Amino acid sequence: MSTIKKVPQYCYQCVAGPDFLTVKVEDGVATEIEPNFALADVHPGGGKSCVKAYGLVQKTYNPNRLLTPMKRTNPKKGRDEDPGFVRISWDEALGMVGGKLKEIQAKGLHDPLGYARVAASFGGGGTPTYYMGTFPAFLSAWGAVDFSFGSGQGVKCTHSEHLYGELWHRGFTVAADTPTTNYILSFGGNPEASAGVMGITRHADARARGAKRVQIEPHLSVTGACSAEWVPIRPKTDPAFMYGLIHAMLHEMPRERLDIEFLTNHTGSPYLVAPNGYFLRDLVSHKPLMWDLKRGAAVPFDTPDIEPALEGSFTASGIEIGADDEEWQHEEIEVDTAFSLLVKQMAEYTPEWAEEICQVPDGCIRRIADEFVSHAQVGDTIEIDGEILPLRPVAVILGKTVNNGWGGYECCWGRTLLACLVGALEVPGGTLGTTVRLNRPATTRQASVIGGPDGFMQYPMNATDKENWQEAPTARNAHSTLVPLSANSPWSQALGPTHLAWMFRKESPENWPAVSAPDLWFVYRTNPAISFWDTKAITERIAEFPFIVSFCYIPDETNYMADVLLPECTDFESTQLIRVGGTKFIESFWDHEGVALRQPAIKPLGETRDFTDIATELAARAGILDKYNNAINRGAAGVPLRGGNYDFSLDIEQSHGAEQIWDAMCRAASAELTDGAETDGLDWYKEHGIRTRPISRLIWYLFPELRKKGLRFEMPYQEQLYRVGKQLGNRLHEKGIEWWNEQLKEYEPLPPWKDFPGIWEQATVNSGGALEDYPFWLLTSRSMQLAWGSNSSIQMIDEVAKNMHGHRAVVMNTGRAAEMGIADGDLVEIKSTLRSTKGRVALKQGIRPDTILIQGQFDHWVTPFSKDNPAPSMNTVVPMSLALTDSTGSSADIVRVAVHRLEGKA
């Protein structure tokens, strides 16, 4: 008699999760993934998960899995050094790691250079946290950990959007209010590949009800495919397109078509700007001044009963405060409002000007500007849960390579400004932030709205003043020192210029301290040896690390360098309770909040162990069990075990099994969500999967919170950034550091257009290439099947991904290829000035003739299955350099390349 059960689970392999599913288990064997329709009313994705979750059955039973702990026997590390892994017992493996931890404790948690001796890298935008059980509590108990060795951050993520998004509207990422919007301008945004089940459902609904999306990107992505219009723009010229739109809106349309009320009362547009570029401030209170049309005088911004002038030049007096408290007193000087300066600055950026740069007809730019404003419904309102809010159903979204690297600042600024001009920022139908990671408290976006002295939201910049600037970096990527915007939250290290940690490991630039290798490096669900830029160099750096501990699933290119392999239970073999609901990373907006359980559906394979048990054992062996248990008790692994009317905290002196820990967590979560009324434990969650409670949709929008607190959006004029940049420049120059000067130039209050493609062209020339020899732009694009999850080694995922054009291939314009004598399926070499990669050509009409595209990160040379299915990888050919690093510490997946046909087939 066979037994069949369906076990509720969550999938959080990518940042668009979590999604829900059930695993069908027949006679103890996991056989099928199915949606969990029991949770359809709670989950914005209808209880469904995307294609990646369906790879988890093969992931579980992959015959290449590492099922016992192993240790390295070859002390030499490198791509050409066989690690000689041999099986060892868990006791020996944990003993090795515990011994190393003890040794570090004895030496001190920081090395002589001031860096943490223990480093840890996790991939997937933080999603490994949802699979590592109580390991966060272990790290918290340990104390000093350096998270700044990145595995793709900055170049592979929407980096500038994270930083500027958090600054302007608490948007770690930014999305459209898709269920309400009618018009979306998407600059390379790729929600159909990366916004997960929730995003795809929302956008499909929007299309079906007639919402228009215009996709502006050099190749026709799946998102472009699903859009009403595709505008093939020249790579990295998106700011020029946006400036053309802004020009058309400011200079070619009647002003009343814009949202004057929003600009005047909810942004910094009326602030007066003094001659040195800083706000004109009140002499006594130092508050920024606005021109009050009622009084005919300049008054502090928070003066009651005023009628601020949105634009114009006025004669006023006050004080101007610059960098490092430099002050200028002004008497009766002519000052413009910030908005007027914006109007002046945008005067030259006509659609005709933009056409020259973007290679998009000026008529197209004007039409889109008109459509955008027409759809904005300026003046309309909507009621949500009793609150009247502006209804502005137009949104702007940005994609990777647009919103990171040089030009990222301008794109993010242009995006938010476009929303402000029609009052469509953080209101129903408009452009919304999703969640916060840098601002604190991070419980909700609303909670992070704290008023600052100038009437904007306070932002936790890293200090740049003389007294508080962190002169010697404590994290190897130096985010606190070089990137004020990266703030100082637990996420900041991983959101800093993470490639600098790798680059400076090899060679520190002038007047910069050396960067040491960590004594111990933990890696989990990440593979920087293939996933970063210039992966060859990254691999060489990894090989220099003396002691690497990999929590692993199969052999890969990074754990090839490991000293100890600790095989953990995979997704369906271990237990974890996570928070769900509210608003999350990527276009994930819920009407509920609560917790969800992941649970063992099958018995763990081999000797694999639940990550929680590994963490507990490591804590015990490192002698920090009490601190670890304390960390769990205070919520470091998800839910605090103690609340106002409940206490399920663990005995801190004892080791507790995973079931016991998660049972306590479940009970605490039940109590928290029901104000103590329920205390259901693990067994209840195993049956039901989740517990949630409804929340108001008002939390999707930040505008109500700002309105309530009398705060303005810090747009369009970036006085704060301007000052911070000047101060940072002063600090660096005092130390004799000149290599960050180009980055310092980015701190402009109203960012002008710069020749962004030219930066990459110049990099090609500087590295010895003649531009005409490298005529193509090489770009990449996410795919739903392969982005995140390290699932290129999953046969079924690879098989279904093949249904999409361009999988494991080089996508090239059909006409351009014909001119070069290249046919579909031909083997080509893609060569940058750094090195080359090769792959089969997939011809498409939907790509610019000057652009080629490689999807995925397929530089595998260890990972089973992946290494046997050759494919090109842009990571091999993208150079990593300071010149290609912007002031936020990010770059973009783009490089100039040559294409040559090779004989034979791939």
Within 225-284, the residues that bind another protein by CB under 8 A are 225-230, 232
In this structure, are residues 477 and 500 in contact, taking their beta carbons and an 8 Å threshold?
A: yes
Tell me which of 17, 35, 528, 582 binds another protein, using CB under 8 A. 35
Dmax over CA atoms of the chain, in Å, equals 93
Question: CA 841 to CA 467: how far, in whole Å?
Answer: 56
Q: Is residue 368 part of the contact set for another protein (CB under 8 A)?
A: no
Footprint of another protein on 177-196 (CB under 8 A): 192
Query: Which of 247, 816 has the CB closer to another protein?
Result: 816
State which of residues 295, 734, 799, 823 lies at the interface with another protein (CB under 8 A).
799
Residue 260, amino acid = I
Q: Which of residues 840-899 bind another protein (CB under 8 A)?
A: 842, 844-849, 864-865
- Are 462 and 120 in contact by the 8 Å Cβ rule? The answer is no
Distance from C-alpha of 619 to C-alpha of 512, rounded to nearest angstrom: 35
Choose between 695 and 827: whose C-beta lies nearer to another protein.
827
Q: Rule CB under 8 A: is residue 220 a binding residue for another protein?
A: yes
Q: Is residue 11 within the footprint of another protein (CB under 8 A)?
A: no
Q: Name the minimum Å distance from CB 796 to another protein.
A: 6
Q: Is 16 in the site for another protein (CB under 8 A)?
A: no
Which residue from 179, 270, 429, 806 is in contact with another protein, where contact means CB under 8 A?
A: 806
Minimum distance, C-beta of residue 33 to another protein, in the bound complex (Å): 6
**The Cα angle at residue 448 between residues 156 and 391, in degrees rounded to 5:** 85
Site for another protein in 474-493 (CB under 8 A): none
Q: Which of 204, 283, 388, 514 binds another protein (CB under 8 A)?
A: 204
DSSP state of 569: P
Among 9, 13, 62, 583, binds another protein (CB under 8 A): 62
Q: Where are the beta strands (DSSP E) in 12-162?
A: 19-26, 29-34, 70-71, 86-87, 118-122, 145-146
DSSP lists the bridge partners of residue 811 as 842, 853
- Residues whose CB is less than 8 angstroms from the CB of residue 758 and which lie 6 or more positions away in sequence, other chains included: none
Q: Which is nearer to another protein, 112 or 603 (CB)?
A: 603
Residue 27 makes contact with another protein by CB under 8 A: yes
With b for 16 or more beta-carbon neighbours within 10 A and e for fewer, the 433-465 pattern comes to bbbbbbbeebebbbebbeeeebbbbebbbbbbe
Within 699-758, which residues bind another protein (CB under 8 A)? none
Number of residues that bind another protein (CB under 8 A): 74
| Closer residue to another protein, CB minimum distance, 48 or 100 | 48
Q: Which is nearer to another protein, 218 or 635 (CB)?
A: 218
CB-nearer residue toward another protein: 283 or 818: 818
> Which residue in the set 4, 26, 657, 709 belongs to the binding site for another protein (CB under 8 A)?
26
Phi, psi of 740 (to 5 degrees): -110, 15
- Using an 8 Å Cβ cutoff, are 878 and 832 in contact? yes
CB of 451 to another protein, least distance (A): 39
Nearest residue (CB) to another protein, 106 versus 208: 208
Q: Of 456 and 572, which has the nearer Cβ to another protein?
A: 572
CB of residue 162 to another protein, shortest distance in Å = 25
Choosing from 119, 145, 157, 197, the residue that interacts with another protein (CB under 8 A) is: 197
| Burial class (CB within 10 angstroms; exposed 0-12, middle 13-18, buried 19+) of 82 | exposed
Q: Please give the DSSP secondary-structure letter assigned to residue 249.
A: H
Query: Closest separation between CB of residue 595 and another protein, Å?
Result: 23
**Residue with smaller CB distance to another protein, 32 or 81:** 32
Least distance (Å) from another protein to the CB of residue 867? 13
When binding is defined by CB under 8 A, the residue of 46, 126, 451, 870 that contacts another protein is: 46
Question: What angle, rounded to 10 degrees, do the helices at 351-358 and 238-251 form?
Answer: 170
Q: Give the amino acid at 474.
A: T
Q: Which of 45, 165, 423, 638 binds another protein (CB under 8 A)?
A: 45
And the tokens for 85?
């892994």
**Is 429 near another protein (CB under 8 A)?**
no
CB atoms < 10 A from the CB of 738, how many?
Answer: 13
Edge-first strand order for the sheet with 29-34 is 4-11, 19-26, 29-34
Q: Under the criterion CB under 8 A, does residue 820 sit at the interface with another protein?
A: no
396 closest CA partner among 247, 186, 703? 186
* Rounded least distance, CB 93 to another protein, Å: 25
State which of residues 68, 630, 762, 814 lies at the interface with another protein (CB under 8 A).
Answer: 814
Does an H or E element contain 642, and which?
A: strand 642-643
Q: Which residues have C-beta within 8 Å of that of residue 359, sequence separation ≥ 6? A: 233, 234, 237
Residue 213 sits at φ, ψ, to 5 deg, of: -120, 130
Half-sphere exposure for 434 (CA within 13 Å, toward CB): 24
Residue 665 binds to another protein (criterion: CB under 8 A): no
Binding another protein (rule: CB under 8 A), the pick from 14, 15, 57, 346 is 57
Interacting residue with another protein among 155, 200, 699, 715 (CB under 8 A): 200
